Amino acid sequence: MTKSSLLLIDKPKGISSNNALSQVKKKLKIKKAGIIGILDPLATGMLPIVIGEATKLSRFMENSIKYYRVKIRLGVKSNTGDNEGTLVFDKRKIPSLTLQDCKKKLRKFHGVYFQKPPMFSSVKIQGKKLYQYARQGVEIERPERKTFIHDIKIIDINSNTLDVEVSCSKGTYIRTLVEDIGYILNIYTLTDDLRRIGVGHFKEKNMVQLGDLALDTNSTTGFYDIAEMVNNIPVIEVSDGNEATLRQGSEISFESSLDSEEIIIKNSSQRIIGIGFIRDNIVFPKRLLKID
């Protein structure tokens, strides 16, 4: 592990993402770290944690596709959208769902998808988090947000549950999606179990259990070089002299076929030194990283 890394934690159920972050910072004795994509306490799975200078590259990973495995319970809803809220059972009979019928109906969610943030969420309106209103029994009007559903795969169907895998954009509330699925299926629904199984090109096998994390500089399990966070961004390599110029805040000349693009800048040792912008063979530094 280097001082600046990406760490992929398998967050356990029942703790907040901030609690998981606090445990990581304590275990590894680090001060500068942050989370990419908060998970609800109910949810388990991939919680990307950026350490040190990796925090400066967070936005590149924030925009990655998120992958979830979701167990949808049919015939019941709750005020929180999951099984931890006040349950309300549907008087309607749970419909007999066939694979083909479900596929056809869920296909309606593919593509651009507008949803309202759930009341039990940390979205702020008028300077106050929605869950604070919700705990007081107050419902606030929330503007719809534009998200994108790449795919919903049906894994299993039985009499009262529907298991699916969802790939979606950042900012998608799975609990709200589940409730909207219930509306399409004409039955109450709630999120019975939720697990994030991937972010971008990272999958379940790339994670480390929070309990297995230890202060061991030789351990690489769950840790990734910051270059893995920006593997889809164009890269240029500069000389030592040009690196010094960039670090002084000045632009440099750099002949390239790239134009009007954000770029990752590496030095002669193949270490990422920062983020820049290239136009007409001129590189403009935007944000530079310290090298461990």
Q: Which residues are catalytic?
A: 40
Provide the token pair at 173.
């509330």
Helix 99-106 vs helix 174-185: crossing angle, to nearest 10 = 120
Helix (H) or strand (E) holding 262: strand 261-266
**Torsion angles phi and psi, residue 259, rounded to 5:** -155, 135
Helix, strand, coil percentages (3-state) for the chain, rounded to 5, are 25, 35, 40
C-beta atoms surrounding 32 within 10 Å: 13
SS3 130: helix
210 with 23: CB under 8 angstroms?
yes
